[in-house]
Amino acid sequence: MELAVKYIECACQDVGCTLRFDLYEEDGELIITTHLSTNGFFARVKNAIKYIFGYKTKFGCFNDTLLERDQILELRDLCNYAIAKINKPKKTISPDEFRQLYQVISEREKAEKQE
């Protein structure tokens, strides 16, 4: 499986704001990973206990990554590259073809039940 990895750092140079892009070309997946927060040990234990008991904030978990012009262009190029790699035409079928396919499958299932 071919994997392309790209990092884009925040303009503030904080490692916690770095975005990681993993492009799995064969699967056609682009995964974006960001680090949400860094807390001390006890803060993480507190959050873990809240998580175990189902606590959810009304706002969710967010982080910001500030992209400068050059980074925006890099992101655009990465997205265009991903689109070019995974842009395979998908086979669509008409409603009539779907009905025919459904009939064939139904007939096979009936034949299997009779056996």
Closest CA to 36 of 59, 52, 53: 59
Domain ranges of the chain: 3-90
Model confidence at 61, pLDDT cuts 50, 70, 90, reads low
Beta carbons of 63 and 36 less than 8 angstroms apart: yes
List, for residues 18-32, the tens digit of each pLDDT value: 788 887 777 667 787
DSSP assignment, residue 29? E
Q: What angle do CA 77, 35, 85 make, to 5 degrees?
A: 25
pLDDT average, residue stretch 7-14: 76
Burial tier of 72 (Cβ tally within 10 Å: 0-12, 13-18, 19+): exposed
